[in-house]
A and B are shown apart, each in its own frame.
Chain A
Amino acid sequence: MTSALKTEYLTINMGPQHPSTHGVIRFILKTDGEIIYECDPDVGYLHRGIEKIAESVTWQGFVPYTDRVDYVCAMNSNLSYCMAVEKLMGMETEIPKRAEYIRVIVSELNRISSHAVAIGAADMDMGAFTPFVHFLREREHINDLLEMACGARLTYNYICIGGVHNDLPPAFLSKTAEFLDHFEIVVEQINRLISYNQIFIKRFANVAVVPPKMAIDYNLVGPNLRGSGIKFDVRKDKPYSVYSDLDFDIPIGSGRAGTLGDCYDRYMVRVEEIRESIKIIRQCLKQIPAGETKAIVKSTIKPPKGHVYFRTETPRGDTGYFLYSDGKTSPTRLKIRTGSFTGMSIIPEIARGVFIADLVAIIGSLDIVAPELDR
Chain B
Amino acid sequence: MNILQIFEQIKQNTDAVVSFQEDEGPTPSIYVRSDSVLSVMTYLKEEEALDFNVLMNHTGFHETESSKLFWHLFFDVSQDESEDHHHEEIRLFWHLYSYKVEHRVTIESSVPIGKAQMDSVVSLWKSANWLEREVYDLLGVTYPGHPDLRRIMLPPDWEGHPLRKDYVAPTSYHGIDNSPSALTKSFEPKGKSK
Contacts and interface: CB of A to CB of B under 8 A. Distances in A.
Interface string A295-336: 000000000111111010000001010101100000011010
A219 B25 contact: no
B9 interface: no
B154 interface: yes
A175 interface: no
Contact of B127 (A219, A311, A324): A219
Contacts of B95: 309, 320, 322
Interface stretch (A46-54, A100-108, A162-170): A46-54
Contacts, number: 91
B130 A307 contact: no
Interface residues of A, number: 39
B26 A88 contact: yes
- Which one of A307, A320, A322 has the highest number of Cβ atoms from chain B below 10 Å of its Cβ? A307
14 contacts: A44-B152, A52-B162, A87-B26, A88-B26, A216-B54, A217-B127, A237-B102, A305-B25, A306-B25, A306-B26, A307-B27, A322-B57, A337-B57, A374-B153
Given A51-B138, A230-B99, A320 B57 contact: yes
Contacts of B60: 333
- Which one of A87, A219, A232, A374 has the highest number of Cβ atoms from chain B below 10 Å of its Cβ? A219
A308 B26 contact: yes
Contacts of B27: 307-309
Contacts of B25: 88, 304-308, 325
A232 B60 CA distance: 27
B26 A90 contact: yes
A337 B55 CA distance: 11
A217 B125 contact: yes
Interface of A: 43-44, 47, 49, 51-52, 87-88, 90, 216-219, 230, 232, 237, 304-309, 311, 318, 320, 322, 324-325, 332-333, 335, 337, 341-342, 344-345, 349, 374-375
Interface in B142-170: 151-155, 162-163
Contacts of A218: 126-127
A232 B99 contact: yes
A219 B56 contact: yes
B59 A322 contact: yes
Contacts of A322: 57, 59, 93, 95
B153 A345 contact: no
Contacts of B7: none
Interface string B11-37: 000000000000111110100000000
A219 B29 CA distance: 21
Contacts of B56: 219, 309, 311, 318, 320, 337
Interface in B28-66: 29, 53-57, 59-61
Interface string B93-135: 1010001001000100000000000000000011101110000
B130 A345 contact: yes
10 closest cross-chain pairs (CB), A and B: A306-B25, A333-B61, A219-B127, A345-B130, A44-B153, A306-B24, A335-B59, A47-B153, A337-B57, A217-B126
A52 B163 contact: yes
A49 B26 CA distance: 27
A49 B162 contact: yes
Given A44-B153, A309-B106, A349-B126, 11 more contacts: A44-B154, A47-B154, A49-B162, A217-B127, A307-B29, A309-B56, A325-B25, A333-B59, A335-B57, A337-B56, A342-B127
A374 B151 CA distance: 13
Nearest to A311: B56
Contacts of A333: 59-61, 163
- Which one of B126, B151, B154 has the highest number of Cβ atoms from chain A below 10 Å of its Cβ? B126
Contacts of A305: 24-25
B80 to A, nearest CB: 26
Contacts of B24: 305-307
A337 B95 CA distance: 11
